[in-house]
């Protein structure tokens, strides 16, 4: 095989990879709009292909399946949420930092409810594990809580902080879900913010008392 032939084949592969990447981005952008506007339940393969300007089968040349596509969209949401919660230039006092993160989570969920809910509504099929790359993306949220907990509990061990971070996230998430769904009672925005702030006061007092 001559050099020109090798170069031609290499160029063809590069173009094919570029087209596939462009298709992936179009599909991701289209799926992100659907999920952001109407929620995960509104995402249908045929409609998605039409929005992205491709054949239905082309979805499965760009992604292994819809689960992979949804996880990629959710990874974008996790990145956006992480940016929304990022530490400001002037780091608040230790206790205020955790309260800021909790209220920031609530405010993000309120402003981006359909795509935020998609993070928890999507389920992998039975027997199909969550990919490691996505589990790593999700764990970055817990690390945002672990850092201020390390400053509040400098003598605690890493595993204890990890468990406390997950416990705190579960509680904040639960308050957020129930408040936004108004399952227990009508909850105006200011009231829900106040309830979450009250919970954080209780949580922080508990850290002081029990370490």
Mark which of 13, 28, 63 sits at the end of a domain. 63
Q: What is the pLDDT confidence band of residue 5, given thresholds at 50, 70 and 90?
A: low
List pLDDT tens digits, range 130-183: 999 999 999 988 899 998 999 888 888 999 999 999 999 999 999 999 999 987
Query: Does the structure show a pLDDT above 70 at 110?
Result: yes
- Co-location of 57 and 69 in the same domain: no
Asked whether residue 76 carries a pLDDT value surpassing 60, the answer given is yes
The answer to whether 74 and 134 have CB atoms below 8 angstroms apart is yes
Shared-domain flag, residues 54 and 158: no
Quick one: average pLDDT of 76-91? 86
Which pLDDT band, with edges at 50, 70 and 90, does 112 fall under? Answer: very high
Query: Which tens digits make up the pLDDT trace of 176-199?
Result: 999 999 877 778 999 999 999 999
Q: Is the same domain home to 11 and 113?
A: no
Do 150 and 53 fall within a single domain?
A: no
pLDDT at 122 (0 to 100): 96
pLDDT band of residue 87 (cuts 50, 70, 90) is: confident
Query: Domain boundary at 10, 40, 63, which?
Result: 63
pLDDT at 16: 81
Domain shared by 101 and 122, yes or no:
yes
Range of 202's domain? 65-210
Please determine, for residue 9, whether its predicted confidence score (pLDDT) is greater than 80.
no
pLDDT digits (tens, 9 = 90+) for 15-46: 888 889 999 999 999 999 999 999 999 999 99
At residue 144, the 3 state secondary structure works out as helix
- The answer on 179 and 164 residing in a single domain is yes
* Residue 185: predicted pLDDT: 75
Q: Which of 63, 65, 69 is nearest to 29 (CA)?
A: 69
User: What CATH number does residue 5 fall under?
Assistant: 1.10.10
- Mean pLDDT of the 85-89 span: 78
Mean pLDDT of 198-207: 92
Same structural domain, 92 and 70: yes
Task: Count the domains in the chain.
Answer: 2
Q: Domain ends where: 13, 31, 63?
A: 63
Instruction: Say if residue 208's pLDDT is above 80.
Output: no
**Same domain, yes or no: 88 and 191:** yes
Q: Does 52 share its domain with 106? A: no
For residues 96 and 171, membership in a common domain is answered with: yes
Cα angle 19, 25, 30; round to 5: 125
pLDDT of 15: 80
- Average the pLDDT over 97-119 and give the result: 96
Let me know whether 55 and 115 are in one domain.
no
pTM recorded for the entire structure: 0.87
- Are 106 and 192 in contact by the 8 Å Cβ rule? The answer is yes
- pLDDT at residue 210 greater than cutoff 60: no
CATH code at position 141 = 1.10.357.10
What does the longest C-alpha to C-alpha distance in the chain come to?
77
d(CA 209, CA 65): 49
170 and 105 within one domain: yes
pLDDT value of position 91? 60
């Amino acid at each position: 095989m001559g050099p020109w032939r090798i170069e031609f084949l290499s160029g063809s592969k590069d173009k094919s990879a570029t087209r596939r990447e462009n298709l992936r981005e179009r599909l991701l952008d289209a799926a992100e709009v659907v999920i952001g506007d109407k929620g995960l339940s509104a995402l249908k393969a045929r409609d998605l292909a039409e929005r992205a300007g491709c054949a239905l089968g082309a979805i499965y040349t760009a992604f292994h399946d819809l689960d992979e596509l949804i996880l990629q969209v959710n990874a974008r949401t996790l990145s956006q949420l992480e940016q929304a919660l990022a530490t400001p230039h002037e780091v608040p006092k230790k206790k205020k930092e955790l309260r800021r993160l909790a209220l920031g989570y609530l405010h993000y969920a309120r402003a981006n409810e359909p795509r935020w809910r998609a993070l928890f509504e999507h389920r992998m099929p039975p027997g199909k594990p969550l990919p490691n790359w996505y589990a790593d993306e999700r764990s970055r949220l817990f690390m945002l809580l672990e850092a201020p907990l390390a400053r509040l509990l400098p003598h605690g061990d890493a595993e204890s902080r990890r468990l406390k971070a997950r416990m705190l996230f579960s509680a904040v998430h639960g308050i957020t879900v129930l408040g936004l769904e108004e399952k227990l009672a009508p909850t105006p925005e200011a009231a829900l913010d106040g309830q979450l702030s009250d919970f954080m006061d209780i949580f922080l007092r508990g850290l002081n008392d029990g370490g």
